[in-house]
Amino acid sequence: MASAFPKENPELVARLRDPSTVRSAFTEATRLYTEPLYWQIRRLVRDHDDANDLLQNTFMKAWSSIENFRGEAKLSTWLYKIAINESLGFLEREKRRQKVSLDDPEAANIHNISADTSLNGNALAQKLQDAIATLPEKQRIVFNMKYFDDMKYEEISEILGTSVGALKASYHIASKKIEQYFENND
Protein backbone atom coordinates (compact mmCIF):
# COMPACT_ATOMS: atom_id res chain seq x y z
CA MET A 1 0.00 0.00 0.00
CA ALA A 2 2.45 2.67 1.13
CA SER A 3 5.66 3.51 -0.58
CA ALA A 4 8.78 4.79 1.17
CA PHE A 5 10.26 8.07 0.11
CA PRO A 6 13.18 7.77 -2.26
CA LYS A 7 16.66 8.39 -0.94
CA GLU A 8 17.66 12.04 -1.06
CA ASN A 9 19.39 12.80 -4.35
CA PRO A 10 21.77 15.79 -4.13
CA GLU A 11 22.09 15.91 -7.95
CA LEU A 12 18.29 16.23 -8.30
CA VAL A 13 18.22 18.99 -5.68
CA ALA A 14 21.00 20.84 -7.54
CA ARG A 15 19.02 20.52 -10.79
CA LEU A 16 15.90 21.88 -9.05
CA ARG A 17 17.86 24.95 -8.02
CA ASP A 18 19.23 25.56 -11.53
CA PRO A 19 16.81 27.55 -13.74
CA SER A 20 18.05 25.76 -16.87
CA THR A 21 17.20 22.28 -15.50
CA VAL A 22 14.38 22.98 -13.05
CA ARG A 23 11.58 21.75 -15.37
CA SER A 24 13.09 18.35 -16.06
CA ALA A 25 14.18 17.98 -12.43
CA PHE A 26 10.68 18.83 -11.19
CA THR A 27 9.20 16.26 -13.59
CA GLU A 28 11.58 13.67 -12.13
CA ALA A 29 10.75 14.72 -8.55
CA THR A 30 7.05 14.41 -9.35
CA ARG A 31 7.59 10.90 -10.70
CA LEU A 32 9.64 9.87 -7.66
CA TYR A 33 7.38 11.35 -4.99
CA THR A 34 3.88 10.83 -6.41
CA GLU A 35 3.23 7.43 -4.86
CA PRO A 36 4.58 8.06 -1.34
CA LEU A 37 2.87 11.45 -1.13
CA TYR A 38 -0.38 9.99 -2.41
CA TRP A 39 -0.44 7.34 0.32
CA GLN A 40 0.39 9.83 3.06
CA ILE A 41 -2.45 12.07 1.89
CA ARG A 42 -4.77 9.11 1.42
CA ARG A 43 -4.28 7.90 4.99
CA LEU A 44 -5.43 11.33 6.16
CA VAL A 45 -8.35 12.06 3.84
CA ARG A 46 -9.44 8.51 2.96
CA ASP A 47 -11.14 9.29 -0.38
CA HIS A 48 -9.19 8.46 -3.55
CA ASP A 49 -10.48 11.44 -5.55
CA ASP A 50 -9.78 13.88 -2.71
CA ALA A 51 -6.29 12.40 -2.30
CA ASN A 52 -5.59 12.81 -6.01
CA ASP A 53 -6.80 16.43 -5.92
CA LEU A 54 -4.65 17.18 -2.88
CA LEU A 55 -1.65 15.50 -4.51
CA GLN A 56 -2.07 17.74 -7.55
CA ASN A 57 -2.41 20.78 -5.26
CA THR A 58 0.75 19.72 -3.46
CA PHE A 59 2.77 19.59 -6.68
CA MET A 60 1.24 22.84 -7.95
CA LYS A 61 2.22 24.61 -4.70
CA ALA A 62 5.68 23.07 -4.86
CA TRP A 63 6.11 24.21 -8.47
CA SER A 64 4.87 27.72 -7.74
CA SER A 65 7.36 28.08 -4.90
CA ILE A 66 10.25 26.05 -6.32
CA GLU A 67 12.45 29.15 -6.41
CA ASN A 68 12.12 29.29 -2.61
CA PHE A 69 13.44 25.75 -2.20
CA ARG A 70 17.09 26.20 -1.28
CA GLY A 71 17.92 22.61 -0.43
CA GLU A 72 18.43 23.43 3.26
CA ALA A 73 15.74 20.88 4.13
CA LYS A 74 15.48 17.54 2.38
CA LEU A 75 13.32 17.58 -0.73
CA SER A 76 11.14 14.84 0.78
CA THR A 77 10.64 16.89 3.94
CA TRP A 78 9.68 19.97 1.96
CA LEU A 79 7.18 18.06 -0.20
CA TYR A 80 5.82 16.14 2.78
CA LYS A 81 5.22 19.39 4.66
CA ILE A 82 3.29 20.85 1.71
CA ALA A 83 1.21 17.65 1.42
CA ILE A 84 0.42 17.57 5.15
CA ASN A 85 -0.57 21.24 5.16
CA GLU A 86 -2.77 20.74 2.09
CA SER A 87 -4.41 17.72 3.74
CA LEU A 88 -4.99 19.47 7.06
CA GLY A 89 -6.49 22.49 5.30
CA PHE A 90 -8.79 20.19 3.35
CA LEU A 91 -9.87 18.33 6.50
CA GLU A 92 -10.61 21.61 8.25
CA ARG A 93 -12.70 22.83 5.31
CA GLU A 94 -14.55 19.51 5.18
CA LYS A 95 -15.23 19.64 8.91
CA ARG A 96 -16.79 23.07 8.51
CA ARG A 97 -18.65 22.06 5.35
CA GLN A 98 -20.13 18.93 6.86
CA LYS A 99 -20.68 20.59 10.23
CA VAL A 100 -19.36 17.48 11.95
CA SER A 101 -19.54 17.74 15.71
CA LEU A 102 -16.20 18.72 17.18
CA ASP A 103 -16.92 16.24 19.99
CA ASP A 104 -17.08 13.27 17.59
CA PRO A 105 -14.72 13.75 14.61
CA GLU A 106 -13.63 10.11 14.77
CA ALA A 107 -17.17 8.95 13.94
CA ALA A 108 -16.92 10.75 10.62
CA ASN A 109 -13.47 9.23 9.99
CA ILE A 110 -14.74 5.71 10.68
CA HIS A 111 -17.73 6.30 8.40
CA ASN A 112 -15.42 7.51 5.62
CA ILE A 113 -13.21 4.43 5.94
CA SER A 114 -16.15 2.04 5.98
CA ALA A 115 -17.75 3.75 2.98
CA ASP A 116 -14.52 3.63 0.94
CA THR A 117 -14.75 0.52 -1.21
CA SER A 118 -11.13 0.83 -2.38
CA LEU A 119 -9.86 0.10 1.14
CA ASN A 120 -11.18 -3.46 1.08
CA GLY A 121 -8.21 -5.21 2.67
CA ASN A 122 -8.51 -8.03 5.11
CA ALA A 123 -10.45 -7.66 8.34
CA LEU A 124 -7.37 -6.99 10.46
CA ALA A 125 -6.18 -4.19 8.18
CA GLN A 126 -9.69 -2.71 8.24
CA LYS A 127 -9.74 -2.92 12.03
CA LEU A 128 -6.39 -1.12 12.18
CA GLN A 129 -7.72 1.63 9.90
CA ASP A 130 -10.83 1.94 12.10
CA ALA A 131 -8.62 2.21 15.20
CA ILE A 132 -6.41 4.86 13.58
CA ALA A 133 -9.51 6.84 12.61
CA THR A 134 -10.44 7.20 16.28
CA LEU A 135 -7.19 9.01 17.06
CA PRO A 136 -7.06 12.78 17.35
CA GLU A 137 -5.70 14.39 14.17
CA LYS A 138 -2.16 15.05 15.44
CA GLN A 139 -1.75 11.55 16.87
CA ARG A 140 -3.11 10.07 13.64
CA ILE A 141 -0.58 12.01 11.56
CA VAL A 142 2.34 11.06 13.81
CA PHE A 143 1.26 7.42 13.91
CA ASN A 144 0.90 7.24 10.12
CA MET A 145 4.30 8.85 9.52
CA LYS A 146 6.08 6.58 12.00
CA TYR A 147 4.22 3.30 11.48
CA PHE A 148 3.51 3.31 7.74
CA ASP A 149 6.35 5.50 6.42
CA ASP A 150 8.91 4.42 9.04
CA MET A 151 10.09 8.02 9.33
CA LYS A 152 12.59 9.03 11.99
CA TYR A 153 11.29 11.29 14.75
CA GLU A 154 13.76 13.97 13.63
CA GLU A 155 12.19 14.02 10.15
CA ILE A 156 8.67 14.17 11.57
CA SER A 157 9.79 16.97 13.88
CA GLU A 158 11.09 18.97 10.94
CA ILE A 159 7.84 18.48 9.01
CA LEU A 160 5.40 19.15 11.85
CA GLY A 161 7.46 21.66 13.84
CA THR A 162 7.04 19.63 17.03
CA SER A 163 9.75 18.48 19.42
CA VAL A 164 11.03 14.92 19.17
CA GLY A 165 9.96 14.27 22.76
CA ALA A 166 6.39 15.38 22.06
CA LEU A 167 6.31 13.21 18.93
CA LYS A 168 7.51 10.16 20.85
CA ALA A 169 4.81 10.78 23.45
CA SER A 170 2.15 11.20 20.73
CA TYR A 171 3.21 7.98 19.02
CA HIS A 172 3.27 6.07 22.32
CA ILE A 173 -0.19 7.35 23.30
CA ALA A 174 -1.55 6.59 19.81
CA SER A 175 -0.14 3.05 19.97
CA LYS A 176 -1.74 2.49 23.37
CA LYS A 177 -5.11 3.79 22.10
CA ILE A 178 -4.93 1.48 19.10
CA GLU A 179 -4.02 -1.44 21.34
CA GLN A 180 -6.99 -0.56 23.58
CA TYR A 181 -9.26 -0.33 20.53
CA PHE A 182 -8.27 -3.88 19.54
CA GLU A 183 -8.85 -5.18 23.07
CA ASN A 184 -12.29 -3.53 23.26
CA ASN A 185 -13.41 -4.60 19.77
CA ASP A 186 -12.62 -8.31 19.69
pLDDT at 118 over 50: no
- Output the pLDDT for position 48: 93
Contact present, 143 and 171 (Cβ < 8 Å):
yes
As a whole number of angstroms, the distance between CA 16 and CA 66 comes to 8
Q: pLDDT of 62-74, one tens digit each? A: 999 998 888 888 8
pTM of the model: 0.75
pLDDT at 24 over 90: yes
- Output the pLDDT for position 171: 96
As a whole number of angstroms, the distance between CA 129 and CA 125 comes to 6
As a whole number of angstroms, the distance between CA 76 and CA 30 comes to 11
Phi and psi, residue 13, nearest 5°: -60, -45
As a whole number of angstroms, the distance between CA 60 and CA 157 comes to 24
- Output the pLDDT for position 54: 97
Q: pLDDT of 30-79, one tens digit each? A: 999 999 999 999 988 878 999 999 999 999 999 999 988 888 888 999 99
Sign of the C-alpha dihedral, residues 4, 59, 112, 158? Answer: positive
- How high does pLDDT run on average in the chain? 85
What amino acid occupies position 104? D
Q: pLDDT of 139-150, one tens digit each? A: 999 999 899 888
Contact present, 6 and 76 (Cβ < 8 Å):
yes
What amino acid occupies position 87? S
Confidence band (pLDDT; 50, 70, 90) for 4?
low
